[in-house]
């Protein structure tokens, strides 16, 4: 059976979805990017500092698991859910302007809950516009997430000397604009998924689908590495900057922006590759490259600067380049009436793992007495994930992926 003809409006819809995702995802690392200032202003210790990042992860986990438990992404109109969630993220993020340290952690948790109402539905909404070329389209979407996540670092790097509140104002305004865009500019595409009703048994069905669970295991290995690197790259870079001049890209903040933002190129490359050589080969290859970077970047901690910058850049490209393809695999392997639920569950468990990894990295730093080799603890995740995707490639159900390209 030949695929349905593509909609001529699909690229416009994708551009609008991506623009909205860029805006609202600026709230994810808004506190992380200004953490050095908050440590001084609020007299934060290492534990509270870590929780300003981890609270967002936990909030996202809670939101994603709660929405999947009631099948919310498959019941509520996606653009409405995304609009209200983006508005909530904007308000929770703006609350940092008047918060103290304890209140700030609660607000970061609320921001994460709100973002769980944007990201999984955006993945499903995009899939209603694309059947062929879905891997590349998802690459654009995860690229938008990556760019949005990186922008607070750019604002801080360019606004050297500005009050930290400028980052909060900018990210809150961007999320508010996204809420308006979601509410007024987005609708489902012509390839809509079947409308679902509440059915808690679908959760068990997801866990008993072996091909789907292998794709999920690949994603879980990927997530073990991703947000721990994104969350702590600024601290790693700041520690390296103290003994390395000139420093790659000029400063620790600019290096952090370049590393995270370079993932946009990785997402587009991963999408292009997956639609041609297959999702399994693409994801396994990206994870093995990123694992190698995590294992070797400590050798460049003391220089030379060009080596540190090059390794960090390759890591930034490869660590996120495969991310969209795990979500694409879910849209192809899951029960088509419960794709939103399967996506939310995948994301919820994956982000729960990021909480552990983000918490673990500074403990490793303390045990080793510095940042140089802290990222070694991330290596097992992508190695296990690559093995899972290669195992999926050997199953007959893998022919459902990217039009038969395994």
Q: What is the pLDDT of residue 383?
A: 97
CA distance 287 to 224: 11
CA 97 to chain centre: 25
Q: What single string gives the DSSP state of each residue in 81-123?
A: HHHHHHHHHHHHHHGGGT--HHHHHHHHHHHHHHHTTTHHHHH
Q: What is the pLDDT of residue 375?
A: 97
Least confident of 74-78, 80-84, 382-386: 74-78
Kindly report, residue by residue over 255-305, the tens digit of the pLDDT: 999 999 999 899 888 888 887 888 889 999 999 999 999 999 999 998 788
H runs (alpha helix) in 159-278: 165-185, 201-207, 210-241, 252-261, 263-277
- Res. 90 pLDDT band, cuts 50 70 90: very high
- pLDDT above 90 (res 349): no
- Res. 211 pLDDT band, cuts 50 70 90: confident
Highest mean pLDDT among 35-39, 74-78, 225-229 belongs to: 225-229
User: Dihedral through CA 264, CA 120, CA 228, CA 377, nearest 10?
Assistant: -110
CA distance 247 to 254: 10
Residue ranges and CATH numbers for the domains of the chain are: 10-184+206-404 (1.20.1250.20)
- pLDDT above 50 (res 122): yes
In this prediction the pTM is 0.79
Phi, psi for residue 313 in degrees, rounded to 5: -70, -45
Q: What is the pLDDT of residue 73?
A: 61
- Angle in degrees, CA 304, 310, 312, rounded to 5: 100
Q: Are 28 and 167 contacting, i.e. CB atoms less than 8 angstroms apart? A: no
Residue with token string 């952690």: 105
Distances (CA, A) of 20 to 15, 75, 177, 223, 343: 9, 21, 8, 23, 19
């Amino acid at each position: 059976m030949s695929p349905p003809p593509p909609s001529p409006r699909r690229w416009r819809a994708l551009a609008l979805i991506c623009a909205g995702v860029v805006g609202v995802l600026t709230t994810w690392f808004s506190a992380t990017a200004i953490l050095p200032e908050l440590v001084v202003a609020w007299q934060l210790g290492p534990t509270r500092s870590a929780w300003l990042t981890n609270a967002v992860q936990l909030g996202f986990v809670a939101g994603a698991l709660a929405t999947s438990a009631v099948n919310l992404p498959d019941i509520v109109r996606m653009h409405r859910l995304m609009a209200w969630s983006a508005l909530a993220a904007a308000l929770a993020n703006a609350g940092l302007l008047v918060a103290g340290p304890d209140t700030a952690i609660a607000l970061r948790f609320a921001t994460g809950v709100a973002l769980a109402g944007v990201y999984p539905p955006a993945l499903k909404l995009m899939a209603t516009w694309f059947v062929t070329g879905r891997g590349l389209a998802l690459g654009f979407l995860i690229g938008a997430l990556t760019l949005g996540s990186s922008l607070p670092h750019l604002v801080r790097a360019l606004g050297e000397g500005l009050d930290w509140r400028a980052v909060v104002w900018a990210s809150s305004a961007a999320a508010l604009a996204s809420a308006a865009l979601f509410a007024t500019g987005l609708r489902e595409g012509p390839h809509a998924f079947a409308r679902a009703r509440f059915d808690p048994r679908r959760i068990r069905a997801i866990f008993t689908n072996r091909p789907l669970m292998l794709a999920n295991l690949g994603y879980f290995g990927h997530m073990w590495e991703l947000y721990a690197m994104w969350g702590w790259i600024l601290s790693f870079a700041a520690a390296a900057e103290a003994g390395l001049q000139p420093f790659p890209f000029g400063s620790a903040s600019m290096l952090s922006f370049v590393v995270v933002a370079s993932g946009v190129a990785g997402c587009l490359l991963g999408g292009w590759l997956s639609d041609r050589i297959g999702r399994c080969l693409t994801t396994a290859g990206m994870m093995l490259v990123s694992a190698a970077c995590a294992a070797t970047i400590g050798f460049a901690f003391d220089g030379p600067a060009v080596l540190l910058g090059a390794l960090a850049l390759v890591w930034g490209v490869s660590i996120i380049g495969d991310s969209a393809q795990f979500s694409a695999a879910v849209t192809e392997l899951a029960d088509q009436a419960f794709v939103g639920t399967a996506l939310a569950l995948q994301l919820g468990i994956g982000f729960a793992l990021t909480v552990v990894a983000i918490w673990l990295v500074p403990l490793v730093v303390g045990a080793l007495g510095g940042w140089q080799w802290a990222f070694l603890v991330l290596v097992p995740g992508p190695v296990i994930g690559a093995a899972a995707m290669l195992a999926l490639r050997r199953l007959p159900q893998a022919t459902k992926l990217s039009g038969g390209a395994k």
